[in-house]
């Protein structure tokens, strides 16, 4: 079941949460809605579910306009950040709730409901927990019950609102891998909201980056990370180093060095100020200046714990820089605080300043 | 939170003399203003023996006062339960213009003197009141009749259920209800299987308080009732009449029955209160650690 959002707007009082947002999710995809708080990602998810009425625009499931279809008839599975389990019901009753709520003519017979519930509990690895109450489960187990409950009604679309937001780091990691596995088995079109870029890049087929009620970029994890469409996406998906510059013909002039730019950038910024962005792993360091363009910077701190080394430096104008290098490359440099190194840009992107 | 008997750090502890003094003052106060009067009611009622006290209830007017009190409670409590649920749900789940005003209005009966509340109804429905002529023309009696007593009691007791439910419903949020709806449950099914079980103890607590006040209300009822013996006398009004007529044994016997009702309510209240605190604590706990 594909999901299409067409020019949807939604305001809460005077605050515009969504501004003419359009989005297409092909059948069977697992999509992350990523953005800072207040970016509109949760509002978009709730609008797709029918938990929030939109002011303008349409929402289509498989080409059919469902904007006017109320929540309970929209047939979506919704998983809440805080699980929203029915606390006075057992795990089994929670999972069975949707099937038991169907009108009599669509309701499966009792033995079939309990069979389905058992299958689902097995799928979420909670087959021995059917008789427990939610307060007797851990956070990760509760969220699995919530997922089983949402899947029980065979939803057309699965929507998850910060599903791992309330869990601790280790459980988060396990659970997101496990969500991917379930998705690969069921192929149900799914959207999940997160503010954790690592989670989005790790799990999703495609990532929709949102900011201020608009979609900044919609692409594969690879795309949004390596080909960010805007400065915001670049900034939000990891650390960046920023250098103010001026685009002049086929190059951008920074304070200490000139970098060549492509034709599109040339046209877009001809003769104007721009900001050059490079990620920490896109900086190269050397002990001595060589033929390649570089500028000097002083080592401030070195974080060597981990597979790669993160080096904080201070540039000639007191600007803070971060470089991220493999361990063996760093060994030759012997960086200690106070040492001067020479910084090169291996890769960069130019955005409006 | 204070419910557990957490040990107080030695630095924060007062010298034993101060503690003893505080305890003595509290207990003395309690005895003087609560226990002694309560005991006096029962002692006075039984001064002439069981039979004399029981005789007070065989009186036709006394029996009708008891009946009227029960009837008023039977009408008012369900009405205010429904109203309280609706108001708490509206205030907890929705943001709308005038929400703050409605919240304040619910507290109005707490703020206004009961006598004034009673007078308002007289002003509205009495013979000289706004709707008086119309009511007289249609032969409807509200003031100095049972409907007036019900109205006044309703007004006085309507904050109890709503006030009890509101904080709990706000704390619990609407996630569970939204989940039920997204699973295809109807509004009624969601209400009876999700909303109501989540607040059942707080609801019961509110109902008990509401009932206690409905049976015991004097001021507002006194103004609208007209004290017609055998017809518009409730138990508290009947006590006053008997007392004014120097029928002390009967007055205290009736008062003792009211006191017993209150004590029973109090016992039920403490039991339910314990459950409510548990429910609220669970809700808070879940909210904090992102619970069910």
**pLDDT given for residue B11 in this prediction:** 60
Asked whether the predicted pLDDT for residue B179 surpasses 50, the reply is yes
d(CA B166, CA B94) in angstroms, rounded, equals 12
pLDDT tens for each residue of B15-49: 888 889 999 999 999 988 888 888 888 888 888 88
Query: Once rounded to an integer, what is the mean pLDDT over residues A298-326?
Result: 91
Is B229 a residue whose pLDDT tops 60?
Answer: yes
Query: Chain A: nearest CA to B284, how far in angstroms?
Result: 12
- Average pLDDT across chain B, whole number: 83
Query: What is the average per-residue pLDDT within A5-10?
Result: 93
pLDDT value of residue A190: 95
Sorting pLDDT into bands at 50, 70 and 90, what band is B5?
very low
- Band (A141; pLDDT cuts 50, 70, 90): very high
User: Distance, in angstroms, between A166 CA and closest chain B CA?
Assistant: 6
Nearest chain A alpha carbon to B185 = A101
Among chain A residues, the shortest Cα distance to B173 is held by A84
Which residues of B make CB contacts under 8 Å with A?
A: 173, 175-176, 178-186, 189, 193-194, 197-198, 282, 286-287, 289-292
Query: Which residues touch A215 (CB under 8 Å, ≥6 apart)?
Result: A21, A22, A23, A208, A209
User: What confidence tier does A33 reach under pLDDT thresholds 50, 70, 90?
Assistant: very high
The answer, yes or no, to whether residue B2 has pLDDT greater than 50, is: no
ipTM for the predicted complex comes to 0.83
Chain B nearest CA to A154, separation (Å) = 10
pLDDT at B87 (0 to 100): 92
Residues of B in contact with A147 (CB under 8 A): none
pLDDT band at B10 (very low <50, low <70, confident <90, very high): low
pLDDT (0 to 100) of residue B291: 42
- How confident is the model at residue B288, as a pLDDT? 58
Of B224 and A193, more confident: A193
Q: What is the pLDDT of residue B4?
A: 44
pLDDT classification of A323: cutoffs 50, 70, 90: very high
Residues of A with CB under 8 A from a CB of B: 49-51, 71-78, 80-88, 97-98, 101-102, 134-135, 137, 139, 142, 146, 149-150, 152-153, 165-167
Q: What is the pLDDT of residue A13?
A: 85
At B121 the pLDDT is 85
**Higher pLDDT, residue A270 or A240:** A240
Tokens 């708490």 map to which residue? B88
Model confidence at A290, pLDDT cuts 50, 70, 90, reads confident
Chain A neighbors of B181, CB-CB under 8 A: 71-72
Per-residue pLDDT reduced to its tens digit, B270-291? 887 787 777 777 777 766 554 4
Q: Is the pLDDT of residue A203 over 60?
A: yes
For residue A5, the model assigns a pLDDT of 93
Segment A160-184, tens digit of pLDDT: 999 988 788 888 888 888 899 989 9
pLDDT computed for residue B244 by the predictor:
87
Question: Closest to B290 (Cβ–Cβ): which among A50, A72, A139?
Answer: A139
- pLDDT of residue A158 exceeding 70, the answer is yes
Label residue B219 by pLDDT band (50, 70, 90).
confident
Options 1.10.3720.10, 3.40.50.1980, 1.20.1270.360, 1.20.1260.10; CATH of B50-283: 1.10.3720.10
Alpha-carbon Rg for chain A in angstroms = 25
Q: Is A204 strand, coil or helix?
A: coil
Q: What is the pLDDT of residue B260?
A: 86
Instruction: For residues A46-68, give the mean pLDDT.
Output: 92
The residue-averaged pLDDT of A219-246 equals 92
* pLDDT at residue B289, as a whole number: 55
Enter the pTM of the model: 0.79
Residues of chain A with pLDDT > 70: what percent?
A: 100
How far apart are alpha carbons B188 and B191 in whole angstroms?
A: 5
List, for residues B115-163, the tens digit of each pLDDT value: 888 888 888 887 777 887 887 888 877 778 788 889 899 999 989 999 9
The answer to whether the CB of A147 falls within 8 A of the CB of A134 is no
Q: Which residue has the tokens 């205010």?
A: B80
Q: Do B198 and A75 touch (CB under 8 A)?
A: no
Name chain A contacts of B282, Cβ cutoff 8 Å: 87, 135
Split at pLDDT 50, 70, 90, the class of A219 is: very high
Instruction: Give the pLDDT mean for A296-308.
Output: 90
Residue range A327-343: average pLDDT? 87
Cβ pair B236, B190 in contact under 8 A: no
Beta-strand relationship, A308-314 and A349-352: unpaired
Q: Where are the domains of chain B?
A: 11-45, 50-283
Average pLDDT for A293-307: 90
Residue of A nearest to B188 (CA): A101
Edge-to-edge strand list for the sheet holding A251-253 = A258-260, A251-253, A241-248, A273-278, A349-352
Which tens digits make up the pLDDT trace of A83-136? 999 988 999 999 999 999 998 888 999 999 999 999 999 988 899 999 999 989
Over 50: is that where the pLDDT of B3 sits? no
Q: Which residues are paired to A31 by β-bridges? A: A191, A206
The pLDDT assigned to A267 comes to: 81
Strand partners, A60: A4, A65
Which string of b and e fits A41-65 if b means at least 16 CB within 10 Å? bbbbbbbbbbbbebeebebebeeee
Is B184's CB within 8 Å of A101's CB? yes
Residue located via tokens 């003419």: A20
pLDDT classification of B6: cutoffs 50, 70, 90: low
pLDDT tens sequence across A253-263: 888 788 888 88
Q: Residue A133 class from Cβ within 10 Å (0-12 exposed, 13-18 middle, 19+ buried)?
A: middle
- Preferred mutation among A72, A99, A166, A168 to probe B, highest tally of B CBs within 10 A: A72
Residue-averaged pLDDT of chain A:
90
Q: How far apart are CA B22 and CA B257, in angstroms?
A: 34
Query: Does B178 contact A78 at a Cβ distance shorter than 8 Å?
Result: yes
Smallest CA-to-CA distance from A97 within A79, A114, A81, A76 is with A114
Of A72, A87, A102, the CB nearest to B292: A87
């Amino acid at each position: 079941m594909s999901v299409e959002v067409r020019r949807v707007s939604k305001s809460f009082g005077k605050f515009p949460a969504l501004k003419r947002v359009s989005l297409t999710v092909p059948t069977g995809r697992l999509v992350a809605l990523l953005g800072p708080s207040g970016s509109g990602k949760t509002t978009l998810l709730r609008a797709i579910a029918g938990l929030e009425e939109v002011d303008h625009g349409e929402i289509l499931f498989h080409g059919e306009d469902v904007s006017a279809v109320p929540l309970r008839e929209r047939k979506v599975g919704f998983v809440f950040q805080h699980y929203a389990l029915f606390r006075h019901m057992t795990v089994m009753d929670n999972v069975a709730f949707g099937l038991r709520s169907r009108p009599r003519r669509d309701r499966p017979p009792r033995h079939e409901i309990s069979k389905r519930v058992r299958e689902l509990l097995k799928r979420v690895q909670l087959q021995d927990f059917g008789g427990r109450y939610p307060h007797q489960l851990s956070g990760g187990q509760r969220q699995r019950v919530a997922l089983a409950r949402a899947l029980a009604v065979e939803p057309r679309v699965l929507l998850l609102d910060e599903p791992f937001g309330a869990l601790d780091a280790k459980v988060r990691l396990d659970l997101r891998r496990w969500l991917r596995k379930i998705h690969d088995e069921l192929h149900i079109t799914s959207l999940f909201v997160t503010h954790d870029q690592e989670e989005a890049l790790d799990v999703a087929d495609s990532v929709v980056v949102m900011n201020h009620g608009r979609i900044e970029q919609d692409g594969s994890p690879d795309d949004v990370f390596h080909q960010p469409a805007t400065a915001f996406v670049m900034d939000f998906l990891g650390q960046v180093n920023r250098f103010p510059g001026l685009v002049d013909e086929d190059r951008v002039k920074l304070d200490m060095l000139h970098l060549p730019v492509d034709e599109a950038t040339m046209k877009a910024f001809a003769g104007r100020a721009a900001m050059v962005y490079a990620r920490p792993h896109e900086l190269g360091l050397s002990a001595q200046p060589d033929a390649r363009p570089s500028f000097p910077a002083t080592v401030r701190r070195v974080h060597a714990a981990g597979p790669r080394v993160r080096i904080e430096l201070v540039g000639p104008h007191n600007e803070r820089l971060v470089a991220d290098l493999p361990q063996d490359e760093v060994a030759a440099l012997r960086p200690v605080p106070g040492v001067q190194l020479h910084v090169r840009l291996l890769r960069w992107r130019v955005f409006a300043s | 939170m204070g419910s557990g008997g957490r040990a107080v750090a030695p630095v924060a502890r007062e010298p034993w003399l101060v503690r003893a003094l505080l305890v003595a003052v509290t207990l003395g106060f309690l005895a003087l203003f609560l226990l002694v009067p309560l005991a006096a009611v029962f002692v006075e009622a039984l001064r002439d023996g069981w039979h004399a006290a029981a005789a007070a209830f065989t009186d036709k007017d006394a029996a009708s006062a008891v009946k009227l009190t029960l009837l008023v409670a039977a009408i008012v409590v369900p009405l205010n339960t429904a109203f309280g649920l609706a108001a708490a749900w509206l205030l907890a789940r929705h943001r709308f213009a005038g929400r703050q005003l409605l919240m304040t209005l619910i507290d109005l009966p707490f703020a206004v003197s009961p006598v004034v509340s009673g007078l308002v109804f007289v002003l509205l429905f009495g013979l000289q009141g706004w709707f008086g002529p119309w009511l007289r023309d249609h032969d409807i009696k509200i003031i100095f009749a049972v409907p007036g007593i019900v109205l006044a009691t309703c007004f006085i007791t309507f904050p109890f259920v709503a006030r009890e439910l509101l904080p709990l419903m706000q704390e619990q949020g609407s996630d569970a209800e939204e989940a039920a709806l997204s699973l295809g449950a109807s509004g009624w099914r969601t209400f009876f299987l999700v909303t109501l079980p989540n607040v059942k103890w707080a609801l019961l607590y509110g109902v008990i308080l509401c009932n206690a006040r409905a049976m015991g209300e004097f001021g507002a009822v006194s103004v609208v009732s007209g004290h017609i013996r055998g017809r518009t006398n409730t138990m508290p009004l009947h006590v006053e009449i008997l007392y004014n007529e120097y029928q002390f044994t009967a007055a205290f016997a009736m008062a003792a029955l009211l006191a017993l009702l209150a004590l029973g309510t109090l016992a039920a209240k403490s039991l339910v209160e314990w459950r409510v605190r548990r429910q609220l604590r669970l809700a808070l706990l879940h909210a904090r650690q992102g619970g069910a």
